[in-house]
Amino acid sequence: MQFIDLAAQQDRIREKIDARIRTVLDHGKYIMGPEVAELEAGLARFSGAREAIACASGTDALLMSLMAYDIGPGDIVVTTPFTFIATAEVIGFLGATPVFADIDPVTYNIDAEKIDDAVETLKQTTPALTPKAIIAVDLFGLPADYDAIDPVARKHGLVVIDDAAQSFGAVYKGQRTGSLTEVACTSFFPAKPLGCYGDGGAVLTANPELADKMRSIRIHGQGSDKYDNIRIGINGRLDTLQAAILLAKLDIFEDEIGRRQEAADRYTRSLSELPGLITPSVPNNYASVWAQYSVLAEDAAHRTALQTKLKKAGIPTAIYYPKPLHLQTAFAHLPYRQGDFPVSEQIADRIFSIPMHPYLTADQQDQVASALTS
């Protein structure tokens, strides 16, 4: 059994992918070819965002967004410690200071009250640093609670960036991710719900001025031509071949989201009664895109026992994320220690993910359930 079955997806659309790639090989515009603009238009249309800026990775999308807001030394960006390192890595890369706020124990997304507490504390303890932004992560495909986050942001004069690397295609109170904040970032890493065959990403925004700035940042701070550089930028372009592959996948993405939901529903029905196991919770008026299906064991030992059962049955698992960011060596210079974010630490000790993709069959899911109950 595959954790994520990209081969089944490729079998479905191989002819479209091959045709798209042949077109790129024929016109030979491998960097910023016409497929990139076509993809950007499709992403904006799908998400409801005004504009999309395709780029080389989800990490570059986050970096470009912070650069567009002029985040740098002396600035603070608040985010969650329970996420992939890229979310906080880009903050440090620009010389700004990442500040963590704990997560909600049910959704695993950043807790708005904890953001408010963190900023209030910072104003008292580190007045030399200026809080500038919040990066909210839509973990495992479920949007964060933006109706709770936005008032906190307004109170403290912070911009909100949606790290939608795992949630492109999800819905929050009638709106798709990409249109929930002024700027949203997503990733097209192959394992993502909408993934290419390499690295790729995009920024989605409602602000045309920020969009123009990020287009410049994406290509070395380019101005009127390639040798006119009006700001410091990066080499953040998306390859045309990756855009072509994503266009073939975008055609079936709506159907695949529905299939993911069906698979998640089957899992929840079969696993929710298992003793000591907690299945994911999706609040009313939310729709997850189910980048992962992650369950909670009673503790670390129970998790190990369950993963061992699944491994013996030939079923792969993964742990996202075993060590919260505030405990990572990369952030050892920050004033955090074990116990500072108890919810994140507890979830990190208990959570694990089981196979999830649009082509998961009911029989395969029955095998997962049987292995867990054996």
Residue 150 neighbours by CB under 8 Å, 6+ apart = 160
Average pLDDT over residues 325-338: 97
- Domain 6-249 fold is Aspartate Aminotransferase; domain 2 (3.40.640)
**Dihedral over alpha carbons 120, 122, 125, 127 (to 10 degrees):** -110
Q: pLDDT at residue 273 above 90?
A: no
Burial class (CB in 10 A: 0-12, 13-18, 19+), 224: exposed
pLDDT of residue 374: 82
Q: What is the pTM of this model?
A: 0.96
What is the rounded CA–CA span in Å between residue 162 and residue 60? 14
Closest CA to 52 of 176, 186, 253: 186
Place of tokens 């109950």: 373
Q: Where are the beta strands (DSSP E) in the chain?
A: 51-55, 75-79, 97-100, 130-137, 159-163, 171-172, 175-176, 183-187, 201-205, 286-287, 293-296, 351-354
Q: In which band, very low, low, confident or very high, does the pLDDT at 339 lie, cut at 50, 70 and 90?
A: very high
In the chain, ranges of CATH 3.90.1150.10 domains: 253-373
What is the rounded CA–CA span in Å between residue 352 and residue 216? 40
Neighbours of 204 (CB within 10 A): 32
Q: Which CATH class is domain 253-373?
A: alpha beta
pLDDT of residue 261: 98
Average pLDDT over residues 12-41: 98
- Beta strands 130-137 and 159-163 are parallel
Q: pLDDT at residue 221 above 90?
A: yes
Q: Where are the beta strands (DSSP E) in 138-200?
A: 159-163, 171-172, 175-176, 183-187
pLDDT 10s digits, 180-216: 999 999 999 999 999 999 999 999 999 999 999 999 9
pLDDT 10s digits, 114-167: 999 999 999 999 999 999 999 999 999 999 999 999 999 999 999 999 999 999
Burial class (CB in 10 A: 0-12, 13-18, 19+), 228: exposed
Q: In which band, very low, low, confident or very high, does the pLDDT at 302 lie, cut at 50, 70 and 90?
A: very high
